[in-house]
Amino acid sequence: MANLRELSRKDELLTGGHRACAGCGAPVAVRQVLKAVDTPVVVGCATGCLEVTTTIYPYSAWNVPFIHSAFENVAATVSGIEAAYRSLKRQGRIQRDIQFVAFGGDGGTYDIGFQALSGAMERGHDMVYICYDNQAYMNTGIQRSSATPRGAATTTSPAGRVATGGKSQYRKDLTAVMAAHDIPYVAQTTISHWNDLITKVRKAFAVEGPAFVNILAPCRLGWQIDSADSIEICRKAVDTCFWPLYEVENGVWKITVKPKEKKPITEWLRPQGRFRHLFKPGNEKIIEEIQADVDRRWEMLQKRCEVGGAGMMPRE
């Protein structure tokens, strides 16, 4: 269990003064993640909003060693840093214990960066990969990604006169895909549940080998919500079971926050401008289908957690 008082005393490793929008979920996610590490940490970051808002030369918001090289390769870049660390440590040229963390948006993680991510996890580099999932390519102007939920309007999946329903495909369940990599730790969390987030990130850093944590982190512009509502909307994602909080530790699946009462999906959809068109007459069926999909996935997750994994036995 994380303790707020103790966390608030720790140094800010991502300082204020960066240029992210008010209400942006990404820096909140990063600050919480970095609060969870006690050893010195080296950060890698994919191209995207987080990188461009925190490193505008000659300024940097990072109080830790930081590297950005390209959009799709943060996992590979950090693989190289971690390999250098192992090499130099083995040679006795460095003594310190250092942790490695890679941050990528959903675009840089689910889509273009997926290959490098999968490769790095498979090779077993000792790093924590954090996806801050704002469900679209926000930096280039809110284009759909494979993390964009069904029904959301983006600049490349707009709600038009013929296609009235926004994005027609469901989102990719990347957390489950990462669990299938059979790495020591995989988790899904969000910034409204700081305690859940910090506990999971601590576990992710504690394991030897790769860990993946998927953090739902709103983009108020892309989601068309008020800056003040970013945290609240994440709670709704959890309460509606749209974004269940769970972890897969050594193959064992576990729901970490179970909503007392599962709210209807409209509570998550309605406050967001990107879903506005779904509430127009004629689109009722889409909302029903989205609800059915959420229900189906929530059922499946609960079953996985009951058996401790989708047929996967825990490691010794």
Partner 1 sequence: MTGNEAVAEAMRQVNPDVVAAYPITPQTEIVQIFSTFVADGLVKTEFVTVESEHSAMSATIGAAAAGARAMTATSSQGFALMWEMLYIAAGLRLPIVMPVVNRALSAPINIHCDHSDTMGARDSGWIQIFSENAQEAYDNVIQAVRIAESRDVLLPAMVCMDGFIVSHGMESVKLLKDEEVRGFIGGYEPAYSLLDVDHPITVGALDFADWYFEHKRQEAAAEVPVAEVVRRVGEEYGKLSGRSYGLFEAYRLDDAEVAVVALGSTAGTAKAVVDELRREGVRAGVLKIRLYRPFPGDEIVRVLSGVKAIAVLDRSDTFSTMGGPVFIDIKASMYAPIYDDSVYDDSVHGPVRGSTHDRDARDTGARDTTQRPVIVNYIYGLGGRDIDLEQIRKVYERLQAIATTGEAGQCVSYLGVRE
Ligand X SMILES: Cc1ncc(C[n+]2csc(CCOP(=O)(O)OP(=O)(O)O)c2C)c(N)n1
Query: d(Cα 191, Cα 183) in Å, to the nearest integer?
Result: 23
Query: Residue 107 or 166: which CB sits closer to ligand X?
Result: 107
Q: For partner 1, which residue of 48, 66, 255, 272 counts as binding (CB under 8 A)?
A: 66
Per the CB < 8 A criterion, the answer to whether 161 and 155 are in contact is: no
163 lies in the binding site for partner 1 (CB under 8 A)? no
51 lies in the binding site for partner 1 (CB under 8 A)? yes
122-161 residues near ligand X, rule: CB under 6 A? 134, 137-140, 145
Query: d(Cα 310, Cα 312) in Å, to the nearest integer?
Result: 5
Q: How many CB atoms lie within 10 A of CB 271?
A: 17
Q: For partner 1, which residue of 14, 26, 50, 81 counts as binding (CB under 8 A)?
A: 81
The distance of closest approach from Cβ of residue 272 to partner 1 in the complex, given in angstroms and rounded to an integer, is: 29
Per DSSP bridges, beta strands 99-105 and 128-133 are: parallel
The distance of closest approach from Cβ of residue 128 to ligand X in the complex, given in angstroms and rounded to an integer, is: 17
- Cα dist. 105→62, 233, 258, 315 in Å? 17, 18, 26, 30
Q: For ligand X, which residue of 47, 99, 240, 272 counts as binding (CB under 6 A)?
A: 47
Q: For partner 1, which residue of 78, 176, 198, 211 counts as binding (CB under 8 A)?
A: 78
- The dihedral of CA 190, 227, 110, 167: what is its sign? positive
The distance of closest approach from Cβ of residue 72 to ligand X in the complex, given in angstroms and rounded to an integer, is: 6
The distance of closest approach from Cβ of residue 171 to partner 1 in the complex, given in angstroms and rounded to an integer, is: 24
Query: d(Cα 15, Cα 137) in Å, to the nearest integer?
Result: 24
Residue nearest to ligand X (CB): 105
73 lies in the binding site for ligand X (CB under 6 A)? no
26-45 residues near ligand X, rule: CB under 6 A? 26
Residue 280 touches which of partner 1, ligand X, none (CB < 5 to 8 A by kind)? Answer: none
- Torsion angle of alpha carbons 186, 313, 304, 218, nearest 10°? 0
Joined tokens for residue 21: 């929008």
Query: Residue 140 or 302: which CB sits closer to ligand X?
Result: 140
Q: For ligand X, which residue of 27, 105, 166, 309 counts as binding (CB under 6 A)?
A: 105
The distance of closest approach from Cβ of residue 224 to partner 1 in the complex, given in angstroms and rounded to an integer, is: 26
| Residue count, binding to ligand X (CB under 6 A) | 18
Query: d(Cα 70, Cα 9) in Å, to the nearest integer?
Result: 34
Q: For 20, list phi and psi in degrees, rounded to 5.
A: -65, 155
307 lies in the binding site for partner 1 (CB under 8 A)? no
- Cα dist. 82→67, 78, 153, 167, 194 in Å? 13, 6, 39, 38, 27
Q: By the criterion CB under 6 A, which residues form the site for ligand X?
A: 26, 46-50, 71-72, 105-108, 134, 137-140, 145
